[in-house]
Amino acid sequence: MKSERAYKYRFYPTPEQEILLARTFGCVRFVWNAVLRYRTDAFYQRQEKIGYNDASAFLTQLKKQPDTAFLAEVSSVPLQQCLRHQQSAFKHFFAKLARYPRFKSKKQRQSATFASSAFAYRNGEIALAKCQEPLSIRWSRVLPSAPSTVTVSQDRAGRYFISCLCKVDAESLPITPKMVGIDLGLKDLFVTSDGKRVNNPRHTVRHACKLARAQRQLSRKQKGSNNRAKAKQKVARRHAKIADARLDHLHKLTRQIVNENQVICAESLAVKNMVKNRSLAKAISDVGWGELVRQLDYKAEWAGRQFVQIDRWYPSSKRCHGCGFVMESLPLDVRTWDCPDCGTQGIDRDINAARNILQAGTALLAGAES
């Protein structure tokens, strides 16, 4: 059975390719915003829902107008793919899986998707439509197959990336009897049910001084000047360095967890609600709980493992994993406690929670299989 996976690489465009990519990004952004405005106005003014076919016809008329003749300077495939992405965004919105699609800004990450008809993949090289030379890609690993689509992007730090969607054969890891429960935290990134603690590297704190210096330099630059644009990119590069370090650390940890355990149990957290706490918002955003759980989810599926999340209201910290007694209250500053029911002393709050999460997760799996 084959599945689709995306492989992301960095590349370095030539000056000519940079100009073409900038035009492509701008046209994709323009089409997205124009069609989104057309859809929104049609609904609020005429109570009319615009589908993909109507949006495609609107794009055809848009290309014929003299003021938007620049849309013909780039490949038409990324513009059409833009409409497909917007249709998916509205589908998720009406299914209450996402919020209403937003307008795109040139200050944010830029991207354009090319279908197989708009690029060539030969001898390990990718050439985009209307490009004279193939892209200079830094291949960190060989693609498993010819890509069906490629997405070219530029982040706010000015770096270029290409994501190749390929079909791969599903490969499950050998079955192992090990199971683990994971309790997420701030002091420790997480604590496992077998007592292992993984420290929180606090990536933002480690780069706080350099980031603050770059932000002070940016604040002193005159708005609209070239020096301000350079200073802004320095801040973006510093943020990108922090994000890359966090992502790399999480990838290594989640890969190790999935490789070693057949069943992985974690708690379900409402991170968006938790960051409303002003005193903890920065620390919660830096630790990356949501990304950690997301990686565990898809990597477990790829490897044939079982990943389950328990209810967020489950009293994992206040419940004694030995006898099941639940404390009425357990403040955050209490790290160890004694069970008044079974008499167990020195219960570690985090390890106890991880063990309870493992028990609850395996119970959920057993109920689902019965």
Phi, psi of 13 (to 5 degrees): -75, 155
Last residue of one domain, picked from the residues 169, 189, 208? 169
CB burial of residue 179 (10 Å; 0-12, 13-18, 19+): middle
User: What are the pLDDT digits (tens) for 299-320?
Assistant: 999 999 999 999 888 888 888 8
Determine the pLDDT at residue 313.
86
User: What are the pLDDT digits (tens) for 81-102?
Assistant: 999 999 999 999 999 999 999 9
Query: Nearest-CA neighbor of 74 among 147, 152, 131, 33?
Result: 131
Do residue 186 and residue 95 come from a single domain? no
Determine the pLDDT at residue 222.
94
Do residue 279 and residue 157 come from a single domain? no
| Mean pLDDT computed over 316-339 | 85
As annotated, the active-site residues are: 183, 267, 350
| Mean pLDDT computed over 129-144 | 93
Answer whether residue 194 is part of any domain. Answer: yes
Answer whether residue 224 is part of any domain. Answer: no
309 bridge partner residues: 266
CB burial of residue 132 (10 Å; 0-12, 13-18, 19+): exposed
- Name the residue with tokens 């200079």: 136
pLDDT band at 275 (very low <50, low <70, confident <90, very high): confident
Residue that wins the pLDDT comparison between 272 and 76:
76
Do residue 328 and residue 266 come from a single domain? yes
- Using CA atoms in the order 274, 278, 281, 283, what is the torsion angle rounded to 10 degrees? -130
Do residue 90 and residue 6 come from a single domain? yes
C-alpha angle 281/285/185, rounded to 5°?
85
Determine the pLDDT at residue 1.
64
Confidence check: pLDDT of 2 > 70? yes
Do residue 154 and residue 13 come from a single domain? yes
Answer whether residue 211 is part of any domain. Answer: no
Answer whether residue 303 is part of any domain. Answer: yes
Confidence check: pLDDT of 370 > 60? no
Determine the pLDDT at residue 95.
93
Confidence check: pLDDT of 292 > 90? yes
Answer whether residue 174 is part of any domain. Answer: no
Mean pLDDT, the chain, integer:
92
Helix or strand or coil: residue 324? coil
d(CA 13, CA 355): 51
| Overall residue count recorded for the chain in this entry | 370
Q: Which residues contact 70 (CB under 8 A, 6 or more apart)?
A: 23, 27
| Mean pLDDT computed over 276-300 | 90
d(CA 366, CA 370): 6
Do residue 327 and residue 183 come from a single domain? yes
Confidence check: pLDDT of 32 > 90? yes
Do residue 190 and residue 101 come from a single domain? no
Do residue 256 and residue 164 come from a single domain? no
Total structural domains within the chain = 2
Q: Which residues contact 84 (CB under 8 A, 6 or more apart)?
A: 52
Residue that wins the pLDDT comparison between 79 and 334:
79
| CB-CB contact of 128 with 169 (8 Å) | no
| Mean pLDDT computed over 63-70 | 91
Confidence check: pLDDT of 45 > 80? yes
Answer whether residue 15 is part of any domain. Answer: yes
d(CA 361, CA 311): 9
pLDDT band at 327 (very low <50, low <70, confident <90, very high): confident
Answer whether residue 119 is part of any domain. Answer: yes
Determine the pLDDT at residue 104.
96
| Mean pLDDT computed over 124-141 | 93
Do residue 141 and residue 255 come from a single domain? no
Do residue 191 and residue 271 come from a single domain? yes
Determine the pLDDT at residue 137.
96
- Give the containing element (helix H, strand E) for 267: strand 263-267
d(CA 27, CA 21): 10
Answer whether residue 230 is part of any domain. Answer: no
Do residue 41 and residue 157 come from a single domain? yes
Q: Token digits for 230?
A: 């350079």
pLDDT band at 368 (very low <50, low <70, confident <90, very high): low
| Mean pLDDT computed over 218-247 | 94
Confidence check: pLDDT of 226 > 60? yes
- Using CA atoms in the order 79, 84, 85, 88, what is the torsion angle rounded to 10 degrees? 160
Q: Token digits for 275?
A: 């960051």
For residue 284, give its domain range.
179-199+248-369
Helix 76-94 / helix 15-46 crossing angle, nearest 10 deg: 40
Do residue 9 and residue 121 come from a single domain? yes
Q: Which amino acid is at 70?
A: F
Q: What percentage of the chain reaches a pLDDT higher than 70?
A: 99
Determine the pLDDT at residue 339.
87
| Mean pLDDT computed over 52-58 | 94
C-alpha angle 292/293/294, rounded to 5°?
90
d(CA 177, CA 50): 52
Residue 323 belongs to domain with CATH number: 3.30.420
Confidence check: pLDDT of 230 > 90? yes
